[in-house]
Amino acid sequence: MQFTLQGVFLTETTYQGRPAFQVTMPASATQDPAREALSDRDFMAWVPMDFGDGTIEVDVASVLAPDAPDYARGFIGLAFRIGADNSFESIYLRPANARVDDQVRRNHTVQYVAYPEYPFPRLRREEPEKYETHVDIGLAEWIRMRIELQGTTARLFINDAPHPTLVVSDMKLGGAQRGGVGLWIEAGTIGYFSNLRITPVR
């Protein structure tokens, strides 16, 4: 599988006994909340392809880098339908949020975004709670993600649960968007990805 690297480093490794791709970011890419508003960005290793509807499956695990900023949450997930203009949609996880005592923070464990026009601050401001939810996951744990895409609907299943953790029925880039599939991380994350499987609808 050939990857295009965008602001990240990718290496083949083994994590907790599994062959995996390790994805990291340079420390220079860390955002400074004192000087800029935090937002989702396009740091990822992605597979160029013409993918629209179908299923993406992957096992992910994340840990905090030694130089992780205070806002780091182990951000890790999948980008999909990555277009020629670098637009894409994404569902990602914040594993460090899931088991804290702060319920509001727990509710921000799973996130949908559409880059670049619909990052998490805009979605959270305009339609609170609609594109985020809680699920019981943790740092340094293998987490199974399965995303089913059909038109403008995305369904995320975690750890082979029979029912989706998150349903997005109005994906912002529309049902005609097509493109690549990416392994996505954000600042302060060392991300591991294993067993990536992409199954287009024929």
Q: Say whether the peptide bond before residue 128 is cis (omega within 30 degrees of 0).
A: no
The token duo for 168 is: 């997005």
Q: How far apart are CA 200 and CA 81, in angstroms?
A: 11
Asked if residue 172 lies in contact with residue 89, where contact means CB atoms within 8 angstroms, the answer is: yes
pLDDT of residue 202: 79
The three-state (H, E, C) secondary structure of the chain, written as one string: CCCEEECCEEEEEEECCEEEEEEECCHHHCCCCCCCCCCCCCCEEEEEEEECCEEEEEEEEEEECCCCCCCCCCCEEEEEEECCCCCEEEEEECHHHCCCCCHHHHCCCEEEEEECCECHHHHHHHCCCCCEECCCCCCCCCEEEEEEEECCEEEEEECCCCCCCEEECCCCCCCCCCEEEEEEECCCEEEEEEEEEEEECC
* CA triple 120-96-60, angle to 5 deg: 85
Q: How far apart are CA 157 and CA 148, in angstroms?
A: 8
Nearest to 23 by CA among 8, 34, 33: 8
Nearest to 144 by CA among 55, 79, 60: 60
Domain ranges of the chain: 4-27+40-200
**What is 4-27+40-200's CATH superfamily?**
Exo-inulinase; domain 1 (2.60.120.560)
pLDDT of residue 181: 98
pLDDT in tens, 92-144: 999 999 999 999 999 999 999 999 999 999 999 999 999 999 999 999 999 99
Spans of the chain, pLDDT less than 70: none
